[in-house]
Structure 1
């Protein structure tokens, strides 16, 4: 069997096992708490109508949350995991095994994707019971939603790996991802129509995947009339896949280079230094 293919299969198995193990961890309780918070927002938004449409603000927000969750999780989760695995020696052990880095990275992708899928179900399933007016687009809309979410993952996962490779600690990775992402989410039309923002902020939001995954999810789940609340009154499907594609291509070209460079520099001494720094932070 081809060595890379074998490493790929081992990575898939590893990712699946780590995902199953995570089902009993506090991370899933965090997802439940976030899901409850999102549903609370939707309940308060049900009575507010979006100008120019017959839909409630909640109907606009739920698909946006779905897109946002993919982009947010695709960047934040791998960055934190990679930084943590550098600190605890997991990455160093993977480097020491032939084709171990391939298996490690495949495992990270599988676990992250499954974690995000579960988080989406926690929000989407009860959300559909609370919000009316979704899935009016039929099977085509479902297929479009899947395509958008996959494109959103491809556009963000490589960049999460880049940040995790550059961060010196899990806390540093969180600072480099969560804080900027919270600001980007705030201007990306997730919880209210982006057209309510000043023009220059709309342009800034359109530079990042969060806005486009949210827009793509809305185009998949909402009727065409809802596009009246969007920039230019259009879903801009081609532009959505174009921007997400650019982020994905650049990220997939850049991430392997940075990951290989980071892996070459990994050593037992560096890992021990990071471990001691982590212990010092914990004692402080």
Structure 2
């Protein structure tokens, strides 16, 4: 909570919180009256829940960037020196990033409800579905971000994380229904948690008739639970092991060396 409060009192962090949601809201505004094929559904209506899922999935990138930064400045080394420090660090980082994402989703969703008509927001079941998809999706993706962040000793390597994630987002039905893509692309997209988070969000916020643009004309809730659950289990099992092994390689001299290289790049 302290980090979240600080991020909303810092100018650079405020730009980070509001810039992307603002850009997405502008895109939704222009898509609000454009129909997808002959379905009668506006692209803006189909896109808003998907963008919420995409933003939540981008927590992987945020988690990776923060872990790499903490490794570079010695925060991980300090966590390593305390009892159960790495486990506490991982839990703390997951909670911190999750709270930031929830704030960003609210910044996008609340104005989005005013821009886009036809969302199924009057049903308690819709909000409950949104809640379980969001919680399970974050548990599935944030530990993956921690694993990815442990692969890099410098923030300069983060582009290698962002590019594949952006590629998956492009084919995961976020901005255009996945059924419009070739079959083999659909299979690749369905292997990632990003597609299933978007599908779950759409099932929560779209009217029941919108299922016609989905694969098999189904919201596939059980499949969503299964795929996100598998990713969550893998992440929670692998992330602590990877972080412990990474922490064993950390020392005061390696942190000092990285700081010196960073200063040389700045200079």
TM-score computed with the length of structure 2 as normaliser: 0.96
Q: Look up the match of 2:193.
A: 209
| Cα shift readout 1:190-226 (whole Å, capped 9, x = no counterpart) | 1111111111111111110111100000001111110
Counterpart pick for 1:50 among 14, 36, 59: 36
Shift, 1:136, TM fit: 4.7
Which residue number in structure 1 is paired with residue 51 of structure 2?
65
Structure 2, gaps ≥5 residues long: none
**How many residue pairs end up in the alignment?**
266
Question: What CA deviation, in whole Å up to 9, does each residue of 1:232-269 have, x standing for no partner?
Answer: 11111111111111111111111111111111111011
**Is the aligned partner of 1:246 residue 2:230?**
yes
- The partner residue of 1:271 within 255, 258, 264 is 255
Out of 243, 248, 254, which is 1:259 matched to? 243
CA distance in 1, matches of 2:43, 2:32: 6
Question: Match of 1:105, SS?
Answer: helix
Following the alignment from structure 1 to structure 2, what is the Cα–Cα distance between the partners of residues 277 and 130? 48
**1:91-130 aligned within 5 A:** 91-130=76-115
For structure 1, which runs of at least 5 residues remain unmatched after alignment?
1-15
Answer with 52-61 or 111-120: which moved more.
52-61
CA contact (8 A) 2:32 2:42 kept: yes
Cα distance in 2 for partners of 1:169, 1:66 equals 29
- Conserved in 1, the CA contact under 8 Å of 2:57 and 2:197? yes
Matched, 1:190 2:174: yes
What's the Cα RMSD here? Answer: 1.3
Q: Is the 8 A contact 1:53 1:225 kept in 2?
A: no
Q: Given that residues 52 and 229 in structure 1 are in contact (C-alpha distance below 8 angstroms), is that contact kept between their aligned partners in structure 2?
A: no
Q: Which runs of 4+ in 1 moved over 6 A?
A: none
Q: Distance in 2 between matches of 1:227 and 1:58?
A: 15
Structure 2 Cα separation of the partners of residues 102 and 237 of structure 1: 31
Q: Does the 8 A contact of 1:64 with 1:218 survive in 2?
A: yes
State the match for 1:231 in structure 2: 215
Is the 1:163–1:176 Cα contact (8 Å) retained in structure 2? no
SS of equivalent to 2:58: helix
Shift of 1:164: 1.1
- Equivalents in 1 of 2:84, 2:221: separation in Å? 39
